[in-house]
Chain A
Amino acid sequence: MDAILLQILNGLDKGSAYALIALGLTLIFGTLGVVNFAHGALFMIGAFCTVTFNNLLSFKRVTLSETELSPWGTPLEIQVPYVELWFGDFGATMIDYSVFWSILFAIPVMLLIGIVMERGLIKHFYKRPHADQILVTFGLAIVLQEVIKSVYGANPIPQPAPEAFVGSIDVGALIGMAENSVIYPIWRLVYFLFAAVVIGGIFAFLRYTTFGMVVRAGMADRETVGLLGINIDKRFTAMFGLAAVVTGLAGVMYTPILSPNYHMGMDFLVLCFVVVVVGGMGSLTGAVAAGFLLGILQSFASMPEVKDFLFGFSIDQVIIYLVAVIILLTRPRGLMGRKGVMET
C-alpha cells in the first residue's frame, strides 16, 4: 500500500509538468489549429526566466575587506548582493524565494514571447499545410534552443529551492500510516499543488468568464463566432499568449527539480506530444488526465518489482510510447478525443 502511494506521489511531479505543457499545447491546437513544435522551447525559456531573474537578484557588489585576507594572501573580496544592501533581511529572503518571484517575472515575459510568436510568425501559417506549420515551428525551436545555448552555455545551471522547501516530509505519517513509510520531497508537492492551481485557474477561466465562453465557442466553430461579429482572432492570440504563460510557468517551477539546460524543452516536448495524442487531440481534460496518468504510469514502471516481473528489462523509458501505441490502435482518437479534430 505505501509503495503504491509512494509511486503515485513520485509520478505526480512529472505528471504535473506533462499536464501543464500538454495543456498549453492543447490550448494552441484547439484554438488556432496549429501544431507548435516550438512549445518545448517555451518550457525551456520559462526555466531560463528563473535563471535570469535569479542572476539579476543576486547581482553582487564586490568590495575588498580591509582586515581579512583570502587564502592567497590578497585582501578578501566581500560579495554582497545589491538587493540585500538595499532591503536588508527582506532582500535576503527575496533571493531565497527567487523561484516564486520569477513567476511574476516570467508571466509578462512569456506573454510577450507568445504574442510575438503568434503575430510575427504563426499567423502567416494558418492557411498553409500542417507540415509547413510543423516545419517552421521546428526551425524556430532550433533557433530558440541554440540562442539559449549560446547565451547560457551548454551545462545545466542548478537552481535551489527556497530553504523552507528543501528536504522531505513524511507524507505517510500525515495521513495516519506508519512513520517513515512514505517520504516525499517538499518541493515536488509544491509543484503538484502549483500545477493543480494553474490547471484549475485555466479551466475556471474558460468555464466562468465571458472571454472564456467566447473562446470555447470559437474552438467549437470558429467561423460562426466570427460571423456573429466577434473578433475571434484577437482572443485566440490572447489564448496563445496564455498557453505560453502556462508552459513557461511549468518551466519556472520545475527548475529546482531539474537544473535548466538548453535541451530540456525538446526532451519534454516529445513526451508531451504523446500525452496529447493519448489524451485526445483538442481535449483539454484529456490532456491533463493523460499527463497525470502517464506520469504515474512511468513511475510505476520504474519500480524494481516491475523490472523483476519483466525478466530484468526496465521499461520506464519506453512505457509511455508503448501505451501510446496501444491507445492509438484501440482508440485512434485518444482517450477523450472528439471527432474531426486535426484529421485532415
Chain B
Amino acid sequence: MLKKLRTSDRALMVLFTVFVLATPLLMAPLGAGYPDLMQRFAIYGIFAIGFNILFGLTGYLSFGHAAFLGVGSYSALWMLKLLSINIVPAILFSVVVSGLFALLIGFISLRRSGIYFSILTLAFAQMSYNLAYSVLTPITNGETGLQLDLEDPRILDNASEGGQLASPSLFGLEMGDTAVVPFLGMDLQFNVGFYVSALVLIGMFYLSLRIFRSPFGMILRAVKSNQTRLNYTGFNSRPYTLTAFVISGMYAGLAGALLVCMDPLAGAERMQWTASGEVVLMTIMGGVGTLIGPVLGAGIIKYFENIFSRINDSVIQDWFSALPDGVADVLVAVVSPFLGSGWHISLGLIFMLVVIFLPGGLVEGAGRIMNLITRLTQARKTASHRSDDRPSDDDVSSEKSSPGSVNTRES
C-alpha cells in the first residue's frame, strides 16, 4: 500500500501512524491522557480531514458541515438500536446515509459558489438542526436526544443483558474498555474506543493523502486557483466539486458515527452552526490545504477546550498566589475572563489572530520558523566567512543567536 507513495509521503505516513498510535503515551504528561479526550482528538481529526478535502482543495467554504456529523450520528445510533450493537454496520450505514444527504445538499448548494455557497450550506445546516429539534422528533427524539434503550429490537444480537444497557462493541471488544498501564509514575490508558478511532483516522488520513496526490485532487486544486479558466478549458468542474463535497460529507458522517459508538447519545445541538464553525476553526488553525494541519488543529482545539475550560477562578488565584496581593488581584481579574467558562473568548481571539496574521495556520507558522532557522544558520556561515577577513566583526557574530540581530543585518 505504501509503495505507491513518494518517499516523503511514505515518511509522513509512517510518522503519522506512530504518533497517533502513541497518543496515550504522548498525552499523559500533558494531562490529556484519558480515553474520552483522546477519542475526541481522533474523531474530530477525521472530521477536520474531511472538511479539508472540500475547503482545502476546492476553496469552497462550507459552513454547514455539522449537519453531516449529526446525520451520521443519528443514523449510526439507529443502527445500534435496530440491528446490532456491533459498530461495523452502524458506521457503514451512517457513511452511506450522510453521503446521500451530502449529495442532495451539495447538488443544490454547488449551483452557486463563493459567499452564496457558504450561506446556502449554513442555511441547510440550520434547517437540519431545526428539523431535528422539532419536526423530526419521532426520529431524533428532539430536545432530549436519541439514546440506546432497553426495549431496542436489535434484530441480530438481542440477547438479554439482564436489564443492563449494552455498550457498543467491535465483535465483542467494548469501546469503553481501558487497559491502565503504570509507566514512569503515570497511568497510561490504552482504550479500545480510542484505538478503533485511531485506526480509522490513520486509514482516512491515508485516503486523504491519496486524494491530495491524485489527478482528481489536482482538478480540485485547479477549481480553487481559477475555476473560470478551468471551465474555459472545457472541463465541467461541477461533478468534481460535488464528489469532493460528498466525500467530505461522508468523512463527517463517519466522525459522527464514531462519536455515537464511543458515547451512544445523539443530540440536535451537534448540528448547530457553532459545531460547523468549530470544524472550520480546527482546519484554519492547523493549516488549510495541508495534510497534517487539520488533525493538528483538531487536537489543539479539543485539548485547549478541555484544559482551559476546566480552569476556574481558584486555580487562577493559585497561579498568582506567590505575587503580592494587589498585583495578583489585578492579574486574576485580567486573566479570568479568558479562561474557564469564558475560554471561547480566547478561542475567538486566537482564531482571529490566526486568520489575520497566519492564514496558513500552524503549519505555515512552523514553515516560517524553519525558514528563519535555515536563514539563521546561513547567516552564521557567511558571517564566519567574513570574520576571517575582518576580525573586528567578532562581537557581532557572537550575538548571532538572537534573531533580531540577523534581521537587522539582512535589511
A interface list, Cβ under 8 A from B: 35, 124, 128-132, 134-136, 138-143, 146-147, 149-150, 266, 270, 273-274, 276-277, 281, 313-315, 317-318, 321-322, 324-325, 328-329, 332, 342-344
Contacts and interface: CB of A to CB of B under 8 A. Distances in A.
Given A273-B119, A322-B127, 10 more contacts: A35-B115, A35-B118, A136-B355, A143-B348, A270-B123, A277-B116, A317-B131, A318-B130, A321-B124, A343-B113
A321 B116 CA distance: 14
B356 interface: yes
B111 A132 contact: no
A143 B352 contact: yes
Contacts of A150: 337, 341-342, 345
A266 B275 CA distance: 13
Interface in B91-145: 108, 111-116, 118-120, 122-124, 126-127, 130-131, 133-135
Contacts of B119: 273-274, 276-277
Nearest to B55: A131
Given A140-B348, A318-B131, A321-B126, A270 B280 contact: no
Contact of B120 (A128, A140, A277, A314): A277
19 contacts: A132-B355, A135-B351, A136-B352, A139-B352, A140-B348, A140-B352, A143-B345, A143-B348, A150-B337, A266-B273, A270-B123, A274-B119, A313-B135, A318-B127, A324-B123, A328-B116, A332-B111, A342-B114, A342-B116
Contacts of B344: 142, 146
A329 B111 contact: yes
Contacts of B124: 321
A142 B347 contact: yes
B253 interface: no
A262 to B, nearest CB: 11
Question: Which label, helix, strand, loop or mixed, suits the secondary structure of the B interface?
Answer: helix
B366 interface: no
Contacts of B341: 150
Interface centre among A135, A266, A328 (most CB of B within 10 A): A135
B59 interface: yes
Contacts, number: 110
Question: Which label, helix, strand, loop or mixed, suits the secondary structure of the A interface?
Answer: helix
A317 B135 contact: yes
Contacts of A329: 108, 111
A306 to B, nearest CB: 13
A332 B359 CA distance: 31
A317 B135 CA distance: 8
Contacts of A128: 359
Nearest to B108: A325
Contacts of B108: 325, 328-329
B349 interface: yes
Interface in B241-285: 273-274, 277, 280, 284
A245 B360 CA distance: 34
The 6 closest A-B pairs by CB, nearest first: A142-B348, A143-B348, A139-B352, A321-B127, A317-B130, A139-B351
Interface string B221-256: 000000000000000000000000000000000000
